[in-house]
């Protein structure tokens, strides 16, 4: 996991292209046609100066720019300056709503909130630094690099703009090293592989303990390295900068010499006694994996391999051990030789719903009073990896400069728990404010700010196509009963067909019953919430209609209906165990995402097997968010929020929530435990009332399965169809986690992340334990991309994109 190939210190890119909209070469900014950029460009020492002319390319139509590059990995850099652009008087910035794609990858998507930090205010105008989005894309043999800008089809008058596009080739294997197993933080026993089909987005590139390194100072690829001070949680005065007193031998293009020539180390005079340095790097909300590269170089002459006086320390990420015995000399085989180590971090696993990467280095004896040289670090790079939908799009601020580094509210760990650090890096300036504040005040402050932000972001981020009533009448043959898929508390659901850009698409259309108690407010909550969520295991909302008092929601059509349709009271063939398990894993992923992966913590409150839908490939999608609660302040139950959960989901209801009105994400865990037993036993959560006295205890599945578990008779209630088909260890793990989900007290139940992990372990056991007979039982391959990085030989069908390419 370290790169040490000797190479010349400056890389010479085979391709360098710059499409610069401020250049005089572009006489017409209003280009309608696809065009090819063929001008090779060499970066000058200084950034080009800008004329008074408008300096952006923009259009209301989709435009593709083609770069005729050689095959291999490329840096693609997109430069945006909305202020400079909008001040030229050409366009209303709020309509600059667009996405950018290359090949099958969605690189970014703007929303109104992208411009909210400084909008078109003249305060921002003085700053000429761009927001730069940098991606690493692999171009296949014989292909060109196509960059497509797509104005939002939902907003009339939407247009795209950019100021520059830069394409620079990079050495192969620089970031994506296909066959190299990378440790997954939190799951160090498992390895993670990144292959060339993944696109990367640079989130951070920091010169730890050093100054800004401009693109011209890089090893030939024009990467910019920022100082780390904005992300430092430890007081800078408790760290020391060590400068090199050895010759540095660059052995790869990993980082330029100045990154290695200085490092930040734990100060022996630190007022913190814990001998650690901590950084906190905000990450995009959403469920992404990140590649974290740490650069090290031993730069003290005194430390050499034979000497006992060695520098050995710990590295932690997300409060988990990344390196127990970081030994730079040992890794690099000498002083002055740079080395890097790569790690994978899963942002959806963050505790408490925070999306940031906490990183710390710590002296090996955990103290500042060490005789050994202190822990040190030279550089950090962090890349977001494209997700299962080939998307990198996350929150994207263009109004604020250094977008990904917009602001971070975080608090230190360990002894400094009372310290709140708020860093605002906007408009090119960095303000660091250290506010000593006690826990309670912190909570009130953060929850208040969050609550307001949630409301603001909710209203600004809505991307939901508006359908006319006529369109939906046409789609459903005037809401014909022949097209009825089902009915729920909200109203009837119809199968329908709507027009996309090129084809017709099948959708599910949910029309509110005028008598439904789920009123306008709840209808809007569902739209606001679902339109911001996108995950392979959540059903996708495509659009809505609010015309003539109608409230209609349009979703992706799930061809295989609900999970419960396949478990009981059905003529459908029973599902195999592996299919059931893979459905449970998918649904657990969806819920796990809601709890900690989404922008704000969301409690579903309506988890049940009829709200787990199955698409044509049997991928599970959690649906029905009408009851969901969002945000940090979920304990305060609003009377206006109709709780059909209480009415409609008897059998799934968390006893703690029911008795004490205490709603936490563990209520979803309870309900999911009931679903797990439904899946295992193929019976409903609640049986129809029985007249046979001794059968009463069987009515409620949760109670009955716990009773059977305790009395050791669980095997008697398992679906007979599954007899002999479940690996015993798999069954043990499955029942154990299902049982724990049903614990009386929320605090004794596992988190959704733990449930997911256990189900994945059960899956692995099932695969391991399968006899040949089981394997040839006519089963379709069921695919699970394991959270722990375990690779499946036939990846690909577990995840699907939004099926209908309209709407969001
Ligand atoms: N996206 C979809 N694709 C296919 N069928 C769907 C879709 N959404 C809902 N259905 C069908 O419509 C039925 C009713 O769904 P709905 O979500 O309104 O109610 P529910 O979840 O069953 O009940 P409640 O709203 O009371 O919780 C479902 O049981 C399912 O059969």
* Nearest protein CA to atom 7 of ligand 1, as residue: 508
User: What distance in angstroms lies between residue 472's CA and the mean position of ligand 1's atoms?
Assistant: 18
Our answer on whether the CB atom of 554 is closer than 6 Å to any ligand 1 atom is no
Among the ranges given (313-317, 510-514, 737-741), the one the predictor scored with the smallest mean pLDDT: 510-514
Cα(764)–Cα(750) distance, integer angstroms:
20
Decide if pLDDT at 730 tops 60: yes
Give residue 460's pLDDT: 37
In this predicted structure, what is the pLDDT of residue 44?
Answer: 39
Q: For ligand 1, is residue 589 a contact (CB within 6 Å)?
A: no
The answer to whether the beta carbons of residues 292 and 186 sit under 8 Å apart is no
Q: Which helix (H) or strand (E) holds 168?
A: strand 164-169
pLDDT band for 179, please (50, 70, 90 cuts): confident
Mean pLDDT within 473-483: 92
Q: Is the dihedral of CA 567, 571, 572, 575 positive or negative?
A: positive
CA of 624 to the centre of ligand 1 (A): 7
pLDDT band at 83 (very low <50, low <70, confident <90, very high): low
Residues β-bridged to residue 100: 108, 149
| 684 confidence band (pLDDT: 50, 70, 90) | very high
pLDDT > 90: what percent of the chain? 36
Ligand 1 atom at shortest distance from the alpha carbon of 624: 17
Cα of 565 vs centre of ligand 1, distance in Å, is 11
**Calpha distance 773→768 (Å, rounded):** 13
Question: Once rounded to an integer, what is the mean pLDDT over residues 333-349?
Answer: 86
Q: How far apart are CA 472 and CA 454, in angstroms?
A: 31
β-partners of residue 359 are 279, 317
Q: Which residue has the higher pLDDT, 572 or 117?
A: 572
The three-point CA angle 528-532-538 to 5° equals: 105
- Between 760 and 286, the more confident residue is 760
Per-residue pLDDT, 347: 75
Question: Would the ipTM clear 0.90, i.e. be above it?
Answer: yes
Residue 518 reports pLDDT greater than 70: no
Count CA within 13 A, CB hemisphere, residue 334.
Answer: 9
- Range scoring the smallest mean pLDDT among 183-192, 381-390, 635-644: 635-644
**DSSP bridge partners of 99:** 109, 150
CA of 485 to the centre of ligand 1 (A): 8
Q: How far is CA 561 from CA 549, 584, 617, in A?
A: 28, 15, 11
Tell me: pLDDT of 370 over 50.
yes
pLDDT at 446 over 60: no
From ligand 1's centre to the CA of 477, what distance in Å? 19
Q: Hey, whose CA ends up nearest to atom 31 of ligand 1?
A: 486
- pLDDT value at position 89? 53
Q: Model confidence over 619-638: pLDDT tens digits?
A: 999 998 766 666 543 333 33
* Confidence category of residue 645, pLDDT binned at 50, 70, 90: very low
Q: Quick check: CB of 646 below 6 Å from ligand 1? A: no
Query: What are the residues facing 279 on neighbouring strands?
Result: 232, 359
Average pLDDT over residues 51-59: 59
Task: Return the pLDDT at 626.
Answer: 67
Residue 353 beta carbon below 6 angstroms from any ligand 1 atom: no
Q: How does the average pLDDT of the chain come out, rounded?
A: 75
Predicted pLDDT at 627 = 67
Q: Is 611 in the pocket of ligand 1 (CB under 6 A)?
A: yes
The residue to mutate among 624, 626, 686, 800, having the most atoms of ligand 1 within 8 angstroms of its beta carbon, is 624
Question: If you average pLDDT over residues 364-392, what whole number do you get?
Answer: 86
Give me the DSSP letters along 83-105: HHHHTTTS--GGG--EEEEETTE
Q: Whose alpha carbon is nearest atom 8 of ligand 1? A: 508
Q: Is 22 near ligand 1, meaning CB less than 6 Å away?
A: no
Give the residue, out of 610, 620, 684, with the most ligand 1 atoms within 8 A of its beta carbon, to mutate for a pocket test: 610
- Whether residue 112 is predicted with pLDDT greater than 60 in this model: the reply is yes
Looking at the CA of residue 556, tell me the nearest atom of ligand 1: 1
For residues 576 and 42, which has the higher predicted lDDT (pLDDT)? Answer: 576
- Which residues have C-beta within 8 Å of that of residue 308, sequence separation ≥ 6? none
Phi and psi torsions of 605, nearest 5°: 70, -5
Please choose from 479, 484, 485 the residue to mutate so as to test ligand 1's pocket, defined by most ligand atoms within 8 A of CB.
485
pLDDT at 618 over 80: yes
pLDDT tens-place string over residues 733-790: 999 999 999 999 988 999 998 999 899 899 988 988 776 554 444 333 333 344 433 3
Residue predicted with more confidence, 740 or 62: 740
The average pLDDT across 531-555 equals 84
Give the pLDDT of residue 119.
34
Give CA–CA dist 422/442, Å, rounded.
Answer: 11
Task: Give pLDDT, residue 588.
Answer: 95
Q: Write down the pTM of the prediction.
A: 0.50
517 in a known ligand binding site: no
pLDDT at residue 294 is higher than 60: yes
pLDDT of 462 higher than 70: no
Q: What are phi and psi of 389, to 5 degrees?
A: -100, 15
613 alpha carbon to ligand 1 midpoint, in Å?
Answer: 8
| Separation between Cα atoms, residue 488 and residue 27, nearest integer Å | 58
Highest mean pLDDT among 404-413, 531-540, 676-685: 676-685
**Residue 374 reports pLDDT greater than 70:** yes
Cβ neighbour number for residue 334 with a 10 Å cutoff: 14
What is the rounded average pLDDT of the residues 522-536?
A: 75
512 pLDDT above the threshold of 90:
no
Atom of ligand 1 nearest to the CA of 558: 3
**Is ligand 1 within 6 A of the CB of residue 496?**
no
Q: Which of 640, 592, 590 is nearest to 619 (CA)?
A: 590
Res 358: pLDDT: 87
Q: With 60 as the cut, is the pLDDT of residue 20 above it? A: yes
The stretch 680-708 carries a mean pLDDT of 81
Going by C-alpha positions, the residue among 263, 288, 415 that lies closest to residue 356 is 288
Q: Is 490 in the pocket of ligand 1 (CB under 6 A)?
A: yes
pLDDT > 70 in the chain, percent: 69
Q: Do the beta carbons of residue 278 and residue 412 sit within 8 Å? A: yes
- Stretch 350-376: mean pLDDT, rounded? 75
């Amino acid at each position: 996991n370290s790169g040490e190939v000797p190479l010349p210190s400056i890389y010479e890119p085979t391709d360098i292209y710059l499409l610069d909209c401020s250049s005089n070469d572009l006489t017409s900014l209003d280009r309608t046609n696809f065009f090819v950029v063929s001008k090779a460009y060499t970066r000058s020492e200084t950034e080009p100066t800008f004329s008074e002319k408008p300096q952006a390319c923009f259009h209301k139509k989709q435009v593709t720019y083609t770069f005729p590059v050689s095959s291999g990995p490329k840096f693609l850099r997109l430069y945006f300056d909305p202020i400079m652009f909008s001040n030229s008087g050409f366009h209303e910035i709020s309509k600059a709503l667009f996405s950018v794609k290359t090949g099958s990858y969605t690189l970014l998507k703007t929303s109104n909130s992208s411009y909210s930090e400084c909008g078109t205010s003249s305060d921002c105008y003085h700053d000429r630094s761009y927001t730069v989005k940098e991606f690493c894309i692999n171009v296949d043999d014989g292909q060109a690099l196509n960059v497509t800008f797509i104005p939002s089809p939902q907003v009339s008058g939407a247009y795209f703009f950019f100021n520059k596009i830069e394409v620079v080739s990079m050495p192969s294997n620089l970031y994506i090293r296909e066959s190299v197993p990378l440790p997954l933080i939190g799951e160090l026993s498992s390895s993670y592989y990144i292959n060339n089909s993944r696109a990367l987005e640079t989130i951070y590139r920091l010169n730890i303990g050093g100054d800004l390194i401009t693109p011209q100072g890089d090893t030939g690829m024009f990467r910019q390295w920022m100082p780390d001070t904005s992300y430092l949680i430890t007081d800078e005065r408790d760290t020391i900068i060590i400068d090199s007193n050895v010759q540095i031998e660059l052995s790869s293009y990993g980082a330029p010499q100045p990154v290695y020539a200085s490092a930040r180390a734990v100060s022996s005079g630190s007022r913190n006694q814990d001998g650690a340095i901590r950084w906190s790097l905000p990450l995009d909300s959403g469920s992404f994996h990140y590649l974290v590269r740490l650069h090290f170089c031993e730069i003290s002459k005194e430390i050499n391999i034979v000497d006992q006086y060695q520098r050995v320390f710990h590295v932690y990420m997300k409060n988990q051990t990344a390196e127990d015995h970081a030994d730079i000399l040992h890794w690099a085989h000498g002083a002055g030789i740079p080395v890097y180590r790569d790690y994978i971090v899963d942002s959806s696993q963050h505790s408490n719903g925070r999306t940031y990467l906490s990183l710390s280095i710590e002296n090996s004896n955990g103290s500042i009073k060490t005789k050994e040289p202190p822990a040190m670090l030279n550089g950090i790079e962090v890349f977001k990896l494209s997700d299962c939908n080939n998307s990198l799009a996350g929150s994207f601020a263009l109004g604020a400069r250094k977008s990904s580094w917009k602001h971070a509210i975080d608090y230190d760990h360990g002894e400094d728990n009372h310290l709140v650090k708020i860093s605002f890096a906007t408009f090119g300036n960095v303000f660091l404010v250290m506010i000593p504040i006690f826990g309670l005040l912190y909570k009130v402050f953060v929850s208040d700010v969050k609550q307001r932000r949630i409301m603001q972001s909710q209203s600004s981020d809505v991307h939901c196509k508006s359908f006319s009533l006529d369109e939906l009448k046409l789609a459903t043959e005037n809401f014909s009963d022949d097209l009825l898929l089902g009915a729920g508390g909200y109203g009837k659901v119809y199968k329908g067909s709507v027009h996309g850009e090129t084809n017709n698409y099948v959708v599910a259309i949910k029309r509110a019953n005028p008598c439904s108690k789920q009123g306008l407010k709840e209808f809007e909550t569902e739209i606001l919430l679902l339109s911001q969520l996108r995950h392979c295991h959540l059903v996708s909302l495509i659009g809505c209609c609010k015309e003539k008092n109608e409230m209609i929601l349009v979703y992706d059509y799930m061809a295989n209906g609900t999970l419960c349709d396949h478990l009981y009271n059905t003529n459908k063939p029973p599902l195999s165990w592996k299919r059931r398990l893979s459905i449970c894993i998918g649904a657990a992923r969806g819920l796990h995402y809601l709890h900690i992966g989404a922008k704000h913590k969301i409690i579903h409150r309506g988890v049940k097997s009829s709200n787990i839908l199955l698409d044509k490939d049997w991928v599970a999608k959690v649906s029905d968010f009408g009851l969901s609660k969002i945000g940090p302040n979920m304990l305060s139950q609003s009377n206006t929020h109709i709780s059909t959960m209480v009415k409609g989901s008897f059998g799934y209801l968390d006893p703690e929530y029911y008795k004490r009105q205490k709603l936490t994400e563990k209520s979803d865990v309870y309900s999911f435990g009931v679903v797990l037993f439904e899946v295992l036993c193929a019976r409903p959560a609640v049986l129809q009332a029985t007249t046979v006295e001794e059968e009463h205890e069987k009515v409620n599945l949760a109670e009955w399965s716990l009773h059977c578990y305790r009395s050791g008779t669980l095997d008697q209630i398992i679906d007979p169809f599954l007899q002999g088909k479940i690996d015993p260890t798999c069954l043990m793990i499955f029942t154990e986690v299902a049982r724990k989900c049903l614990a009386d007290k929320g605090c004794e139940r596992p988190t959704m992340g733990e449930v997911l992990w256990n189900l994945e372990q059960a899956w692995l056991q099932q695969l391991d334990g399968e006899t040949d007979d089981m394997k040839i039982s006519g089963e379709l391959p069921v695919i699970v991309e394991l959270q722990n990085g375990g690779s499946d030989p036939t990846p690909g069908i577990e995840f699907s994109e939004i099926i209908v390419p309209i709407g969001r």
